[in-house]
Amino acid sequence: QKEVEQDPGPLSVPEGAIVSLNCTYSNSAFQYFMWYRQYSRKGPELLMYTYSSGNKEDGRFTAQVDKSSKYISLFIRDSQPSDSATYLCAMKGGANNLFFGTGTRLTVIP
Amino acid sequence: EAGVTQFPSHSVIEKGQTVTLRCDPISGHDNLYWYRRVMGKEIKFLLHFVKESKQDESGMPNNRFLAERTGGTYSTLKVQPAELEDSGVYFCASSRQGQGGEAFFGQGTRLTVV
User: Which residues from chain A sit within 8 angstroms of residue B95, using beta carbons?
Assistant: 96
Q: Over 80: is that where the pLDDT of B65 sits?
A: yes
Percent helix, strand, coil in chain B, to 5, is: 5, 50, 45
What's the rounded Cα separation, in Å, for the pair A100 and A64? Answer: 17
Asked if the C-beta of A7 comes within 8 angstroms of chain B's C-beta atoms, the answer is no
Residue A72 three-state SS:
strand
pLDDT above 90 coverage of chain A, percent:
84
Cβ-nearest to B48 among A32, A44, A96: A96
**pLDDT tens by residue, A1-12:** 789 999 888 999
**pLDDT tens by residue, A30-70:** 999 999 999 998 999 999 999 888 899 999 999 999 999 99
Pair B43, A102: CB distance under 8 Å = no
**pLDDT tens by residue, B21-31:** 999 999 999 99
| Cross-chain residue pair A96–B33, CB shorter than 8 Å | yes
| Cross-chain residue pair B105–A99, CB shorter than 8 Å | no
What's the rounded Cα separation, in Å, for the pair B84 and B112? Answer: 8
| Cross-chain residue pair B107–A43, CB shorter than 8 Å | yes
User: Which residues from chain B sit within 8 angstroms of residue A102, using beta carbons?
Assistant: 41-42
Torsions phi, psi of B101, nearest 5?
-65, 145
User: Which residues from chain B sit within 8 angstroms of residue A46, using beta carbons?
Assistant: 102-105
What's the rounded Cα separation, in Å, for the pair A94 and A31? Answer: 8
Mean of all residue pLDDT scores within chain A: 94
| Cross-chain residue pair A102–B102, CB shorter than 8 Å | no
Pair B57, B65: CB distance under 8 Å = no
**pLDDT tens by residue, B10-23:** 999 999 999 999 99
Nearest partner of A107 among A88, A75, A80, A89, judged by Cα: A80
